[in-house]
Amino acid sequence: MTSEVQRTAFLLRVDPDGVFAELECVDASTPGALFVPAAVDAALPQASVVYGVDPDLIAIAFQSLTNAAPGTQFRIAESKAPVHGINGSIEYKVNVTGRAVYTGSESDDAVDFKKATTIGSVAAGTLLAVLVQPVLGEAGVNIFGKTIQPRPGRAVILRCGANVQLNEVTGEYIASAEGRPVLDGSVISVLPVYEVGGDVDFSTGHIQFGGSVLVHGNVQDGFNITAKNIEINGTVGACEIVASGSIVLNGGVNGRNKALIKSGATITAKYINQARVEAAGHVRIRREVVNSAVFTRGRLMASSVMGGETLALKGVEVASLGSDLGVLTRVEPGIDYEYRKLEEKRQTVCSMIEAVIAPVAVLLGDRAKFKTQPPEKKAEVAAIYEQFKRLKAAFEKLTDQMRRFAATDAEPIKEVVVRKMLYHDCFVRTSICQRSFDKEHIGPLVLKEDIERGTIRLAPFSERTEVSIEEG
Q: Quick check: 380 and 363 in contact, CB under 8 A?
A: no
pLDDT band at residue 5 using 50, 70 and 90 as cut-offs: low
Please give the backbone phi and psi of residue 366, each rounded to the nearest 5 degrees, phi first.
-130, 95
pLDDT score for 99: 62
pTM: 0.66
Q: Mean per-residue pLDDT for 361-377?
A: 77
Quick one: which H or E segment has residue 393? helix 375-408
Residue 103 — pLDDT band, cuts 50, 70, 90? Answer: low
Q: For 375, which DSSP code?
A: H
Residue 410 has pLDDT above 80, yes or no: no
In this predicted structure, the answer to whether residue 469 has a pLDDT above a threshold of 50 is no
Q: Of 8-12, 117-121, 305-309, 399-403, where does mean pLDDT reach its minimum?
A: 117-121
pLDDT at 2 over 90: no
Q: Element (H or E) spanning 226, and its range?
A: strand 225-227
pLDDT at 118: 61
**CA 74 to CA 376: how far, in whole Å?**
97
Average pLDDT over residues 13-37: 92
Q: CA-CA distance, 343 to 73, in Å (whole number)?
A: 97
Per-residue pLDDT for 465 more than 60? no
- Stronger pLDDT, 43 or 362, i.e. the higher one: 43
Helix (H, G, I), strand (E, B) or coil at 415: strand
Average pLDDT of every residue of the chain: 87
DSSP 159: E
- Residues 132-160 have pLDDT tens digits of 999 989 999 999 999 999 999 999 999 99
Q: Range with the lowest mean pLDDT among 50-54, 339-343, 363-367, 374-378?
A: 363-367
Taking CA atoms, 465 is separated from 283, 420, 462, in Å, by 17, 18, 10
Close Cβ partners of 268 (under 8 Å, ≥ 6 residues apart):
246, 247, 248, 249, 283, 284, 285, 286
Residue with the bigger pLDDT between 95 and 291: it is 291
Q: Is the dihedral of CA 14, 19, 20, 24 positive or negative?
A: negative
Alpha-carbon distance of 38 to 217, in angstroms, equals 89
CA distance linking residue 145 with residue 51, whole number of Å: 5
pLDDT in tens, 273-311: 999 999 999 999 999 999 999 999 999 999 999 999 999
Residue 197 pLDDT more than 50?
yes
Q: How far apart are the two ends of the chain, measured CA to CA in Å?
A: 123
CB 321 within 8 A of CB 423: yes
Cα–Cα dist 376/23, whole Å: 102
Q: Which amino acid type is present at position 82?
A: P
Lowest mean pLDDT among 98-112, 219-233, 336-350: 98-112
Confidence at residue 466, expressed as pLDDT on a 0 to 100 scale: 39
Which range (6-15, 181-190, 396-405) has the least confidence?
396-405
* Mean pLDDT in residue range 433-459: 90
Q: 32-36, 161-165, 358-362, 369-373: which has the highest mean pLDDT?
A: 161-165
pLDDT-derived band at 189 (thresholds 50, 70, 90) equals very high
* pLDDT tops 60 at residue 315: yes
What pLDDT, on a 0 to 100 scale, did the predictor assign at position 409?
A: 61
Q: Is the pLDDT of residue 472 over 80?
A: no
> For the segment 209-233, what is each residue's pLDDT rounded down to a tens digit?
878 899 999 999 999 999 889 999 9
Give the span between the Cα atoms of 321 and 425, in whole angstroms.
Answer: 10
Mean pLDDT on 344-362: 85
For residue 107, pLDDT beyond 60:
no
Whole-angstrom CA distances from 34 to 72, 144, 190 are 14, 21, 73
Least confident of 342-346, 421-425, 460-464: 460-464
Q: How far apart are CA 416 and CA 396, in angstroms?
A: 34
Using a pLDDT cut of 70, give the percent of the chain over it: 91
For 102, other C-beta atoms within 10 Å of its C-beta total 15
